[in-house]
Amino acid sequence: MNGAGATFPYPLLNSIITKYSTNVKPNAKINYQPIGSGGGISDLKTKTVDFAASDAPLSASDAAGAPNAVHIPETIGAVTLAYNLPGVPSGLHLTGKVIADIFQVTITTWNDPAIQSLNTNVTLPSKAIVTVHRSDGSGTTFIFTGYLSASSSSWNSSVGQGKTVAWPNAPGGAIGSNGNTGVASTVNGTQYAIGYVELAYALQNGMTVAAVQNPAGNWIRPTLESTQLAVQSGAASGLPAGNESWTSVSLLNAPDANAYPIASFTYLLTYKELNVIPGMTQERATALVQFLWYVVHDGQDLAPGLAYAKLPSNVVQIDEATIRSLTFNGQQLPTT
Amino acid sequence: MIILLITGYTLTTGSVPVLQRFGSNFFFGTAWNPVEGRELFGALPYVMGTLVTSGIALLIGVPLSLGIAIFLVEMAPRALRVPVGYLVELLAAVPSVIYGLWGLFIFRYWMLHYIETPISTYLGWIPIFSGTPFGLDIFTAGTILAIMIIPTVASISKEVISAVPNSIREGAYSIGATKWEVIRYWILSYGRSGIFGAVILGLGRAVGETMAVSMLIGNATGPAAIPTSLFKPSQTMASLIANGFLEATGSLEVAAYIGVGLILLLLSLLINVVAHVMVSRLLKVKGGAIE
């Protein structure tokens, strides 16, 4: 079985695949290539892979190119705001509007009243803010710019959401860096810089991260628990079935009082009727279904150890229904 | 030749959508916005970024390379010549991503603390030194490129200089020329077409280099990438493609990256043609001396 797509869930998928093919199904040969969400979706459209992974759901035009594709939320991504301010520890208070203003350069210095008023007990330097963003197209950028668009109407109208966007040029400097590693290294090496990195990456590297205000008005630090809460409460409003469109699904600004506001699903994608994939056999389709079942069940136990948030039970139920609905030549396939 | 034609054809057909939509604005525009529904692509800043970083690489790298080559052939004792020559050539074997990593984690801070910060403090009023330096900018990228082209340029120049017949040196000394004059007026002049070829090879490497540059140049896009100061982040064509192409989603965005690839190919061809013309003109002027 071959899969390709997003780099963000790769460490988790890779561990799951290794465990699955050594402990559970020694005959299973699963190959996942982290070539990026965009590459995964285009491979799904051309049917060169059995499954794809993407940080963003299929857009309307992608869905038209891959009819009857299903979404299987597989793990949860959260985006943290990491900064390098000498003497200021983790937990600087920021709101979505202030973050958008920083990246849109309406706020240009750290001791701007808009930041200082949120942090009355912190001494902020009067230094120009250096913004750091991803230079490569990335699902992290997609989630982050989605949050900025939701938080600031001026960001929404002038920049918008995308895997790559036209970043406004900060007077202190706007640096693009490659990958989470690049952004983290740039933030750590550049005083007065602020950038965004994936939660797993920030946790593993002990980065200095901001507490972001959620809709309930609380200052929430990014953790596995606060991210999981975002999914539980964000998903409470009713998620679509796996074969429907997920473009409107948003875990941003989840209602729970302790939920972290910048979270998002990452998805596994495949076809509802597996015989559309060239070379697919009954045996291979069964193996694929069983592997997907493993990913959303036992595979999730590997998540916390790798700093990923586990899927809450309501999402697992939707995934179960989706996986059960997969067919080969119209026939349902055994999940275990 | 066939491969070149196929590449050119593929790049041209691949970039048709973006050329149709934006026309000459694709070549002379400065905006770069891949957000769906707001697409705007202009390649000018990255062409400029490529030319400026390669120019810095040549400005720093070529004099150093010539110095190394002249030292090794004309001055170094035999015991030093071979090992140092090997060491310089060994630099060519280091993969560019290693230069990039070393640049990102170490070299960047040397540039920042010992070169860029002092320059910016005392000469910051000069426009090309304006802005707050971070170490991730045009200057750092250009300097890494200089280090990367030195082995190529130095080892070819070394061969060219050692191919200068001894009779030329002896003749020059016999009319009373000093060592410096022999090197300056006879050896460099005799070997200049070969040295020029070495420089062009170095330039070719600098223009096409991707990995190390994208790790060090700061990867600005849009008007911010126009290289107005050495201490500003910018972007080259190669690094732009490497950064964006994998996750490019819309068909127009993909076409835009392919279009930048086409410009890069044309630029490389142009450099080669110009080099060819210049070398053949030099040969004509100096027809008697060089075969």
Q: Do residue A36 and residue B247 have CB atoms under 8 angstroms apart?
A: yes
Q: How far is B221 from chain A (nearest CA, A)?
A: 7
| B178 vs A239: which has the higher pLDDT | B178
Mean pLDDT for the stretch of residues B119-132: 86
pLDDT for A108-122, tens place per residue? 999 999 999 999 989
Q: Is A91 left (phi over 0), alpha (psi -120 to 50) or beta?
A: left
Determine which of B116, B247, B251 to mutate to test the interface with A (most A C-beta atoms within 10 Å): B247
A213 falls in which pLDDT band (50, 70, 90)?
very high
Q: Does B136 touch chain A (CB under 8 A)?
A: yes
**Facing A166 at nearest CB: one of B135, B221, B246:** B221
Check residue A154 and give its pLDDT: 92
Q: Give the alpha-carbon dihedral of A130, A134, A140, A144, to 10 degrees.
A: 40
pLDDT band for position B146 (cuts 50, 70, 90): very high
* Residue of chain A minimizing CA distance to B231: A173
> Closest Cα of chain A to B235: distance in Å?
9
CATH number of A79-223: 3.40.190.10
Rg (CA), chain A: 20
C-alpha distances in Å from residue B70, one per residue of A27, A105, B149, B158, B164: 63, 51, 17, 7, 12
Report the mean per-residue pLDDT for chain B: 88
Tokens of residue A147, six digits:
């949050």
Integer Cα distance of B261 and B19 in angstroms: 13
> Which of A251-255, B215-219, B274-278 comes out lowest in average pLDDT?
B274-278
Dump the DSSP string for B136-200: -SHHHHHHHHHHHHHHHHHHHHHHHHHTS-HHHHHHHHHTT--HHHIIIIIIHHHTHHHHHHHHH
CB contact under 8 A, B135 and A169: no
Is residue A52 within 8 Å of A39, Cβ to Cβ?
A: no
The complex's ipTM?
0.77
Helices B44-70 and B237-244 pack at an angle, to 10 degrees, of: 120
Q: Which of A56-60, B5-9, B66-70 has the lowest mean pLDDT?
A: A56-60
Task: Tell me if chain B has a CB within 8 Å of the CB of A208.
Answer: no
Q: Could you tell me the two tokens for A300? A: 């999730």
| Angle, CA B285 vertex, CA B279 and CA B290 arms, to 5° | 70
* Residues within 8 A of B (CB atoms), A 181-200 only: 182, 185-186, 189-190
User: Please, which residues have CB within 8 angstroms of residue A61's CB and are 6 or more apart in sequence?
Assistant: B250
Q: Tell me the shortest Cα–Cα distance from A137 to chain B, in angstroms.
A: 5
Closest by CA position to B43, among listed B52, B30, B24: B30
> Residue with structure tokens 């491969």?
B3
Region A262-281: what's the mean pLDDT?
90
Minimal C-alpha gap between B247 and chain A (Å): 4
Q: Do domains A2-77+229-332 and A79-223 have the same CATH topology?
A: yes
Q: Which residues of A touch B33 (CB under 8 A)?
A: 165-166
pLDDT of residue A202: 87
The residue of chain A nearest to residue B248, with distances taken between CA atoms, is A38
Each domain of chain B, given as residue ranges in start order, spans: 39-264
Please tell me the predicted confidence (pLDDT) of residue B144.
95
- Residues A311-325 have a mean pLDDT of 88
pLDDT at B283: 65
Per residue in A70-118, pLDDT tens? 999 998 888 999 999 998 999 999 999 999 999 998 999 999 999 999 9
pLDDT at A305: 85
Domain coordinates of chain A in residue numbers?
Answer: 2-77+229-332, 79-223
For residue B254, the model assigns a pLDDT of 86
B263 φ, ψ (degrees, to nearest 5): -60, -40
* Shortest alpha-carbon distance between residue B161 and chain A (Å): 41
Q: What is the mean pLDDT of residues B226-254?
A: 86
Q: What is the pLDDT of residues B147-170, one digit of tens each?
A: 999 999 999 999 899 888 889 899
Inspect the interface and report whether the beta carbons of B224 and A39 lie closer than 8 Å.
no
Out of A41, A138, A161, the one facing B35 most closely (by C-beta) is A161
Note whether B249 contacts A62, CB cutoff 8 Å. yes
**Mean pLDDT (whole number) for A161-177:** 84
Taking the Cβ of residue B101 and every Cβ of chain A, the question of whether any pair is shorter than 8 Å is answered with no
pLDDT at B264: 94
Q: Which CATH class is domain A2-77+229-332?
A: alpha beta
**Cα gap A281→B115, rounded to integer Å:** 63
Contact A135, B219 (CB under 8 A): yes
Task: Write the single-letter amino acid at A162.
Answer: G
Give B52→chain A minimum CA distance, Å: 18
- The two beta strands, A327-328 and A263-271, are unpaired
- CA B195 to chain A, closest CA, distance in angstroms equals 36
Instruction: Determine the pLDDT at residue B288.
Output: 46
Are B249 and A174 a contacting pair at CB < 8 A?
Answer: no
B33 vs A41, A166, A177: nearest CB = A166
3 state SS for A75-86: EEEEEEEEEECC
- The CA-atom distances, in angstroms, between B220 and each of A170, B90, B255, B278 are 11, 32, 20, 34
Stretch A8-32: mean pLDDT, rounded?
A: 88
Contact (CB, 8 A) for A71 and A122: no
Residue A237: the pLDDT is 62
pLDDT-derived band at A61 (thresholds 50, 70, 90) equals confident
Read off the amino acid at residue A74.
Answer: E
Among chain A residues, CA nearest to B211: A178
pLDDT for the residue numbered B24: 87
At residue B284, the pLDDT reads 62
- Residue B217 has a CB neighbour count (10 Å cut-off) of 31
Q: What's the pLDDT score for residue A236?
A: 61
Q: Mean pLDDT over residues B108-135, rounded?
A: 88
d(CA A48, CA B153): 44
Nearest CA in chain B to A171: B131
Put simply, the answer to whether A128 touches B214 (Cβ < 8 Å) is no
Q: Say what the pLDDT of residue A233 is.
A: 77
Asked whether residue B291 carries a pLDDT value surpassing 60, the answer given is: no
pLDDT above 90 coverage of chain A, percent: 40
Judged by a CB distance cut-off of 8 A, whether residue A35 touches chain B is yes
Fold of the B39-264 domain: MetI-like fold (1.10.3720)
- Three-state secondary structure call for residue A155: helix
Q: What is the CA radius of gyration of chain B?
A: 22
**CB within 8 Å: B232 and A173:** yes
Q: What is the mean pLDDT of chain A?
A: 88
Please give the model's pTM, rounded to 2 decimal places: 0.82
Contacts of A177 in chain B (CB under 8 A): 136, 219
Over range A239-258, report the average pLDDT.
82
The string of DSSP letters for B52-112 reads: HHHHHHHHHHHHHHHHHHHIIIIIS-HHHHHHHHHHHHHHTTS-HHHHHHHIIIIIHHHII
**Is 70 exceeded by the pLDDT of residue B127?**
yes
Q: Name chain B contacts of A128, Cβ cutoff 8 Å.
A: 132
φ and ψ at A323, to 5 degrees?
-65, -40
Contacts of A185 in chain B (CB under 8 A): 104-105
Q: Are B99 and B144 within 8 A, CB to CB? A: yes
Backbone φ and ψ for A226, nearest 5 degrees, come out as -65, -25
* Portion 16-55 of B in contact with A at CB < 8 A: 31-38, 40
Contacts 24+ apart (CB under 8 A), B22-31: B26/B256, B26/B259, B27/B263, B30/B222, B30/B223, B30/B225, B30/B226, B31/A166, B31/B222, B31/B223
pLDDT at position A264 is: 87
Helix (H, G, I), strand (E, B), or coil: what is residue B211? Answer: helix
- Residues of chain B found within 8 Å of residue A34, distances taken between Cβ atoms: none
Q: Smallest CA–CA separation between A142 and chain B, in Å?
A: 10
Query: What is the pLDDT, as a whole number, of residue B175?
Result: 92
Q: How far is B237 from chain A (nearest CA, A)?
A: 13
Interchain contact, B218 vs A175, CB within 8 Å:
yes
Model confidence band, residue B287 (pLDDT cutoffs 50, 70, 90): very low
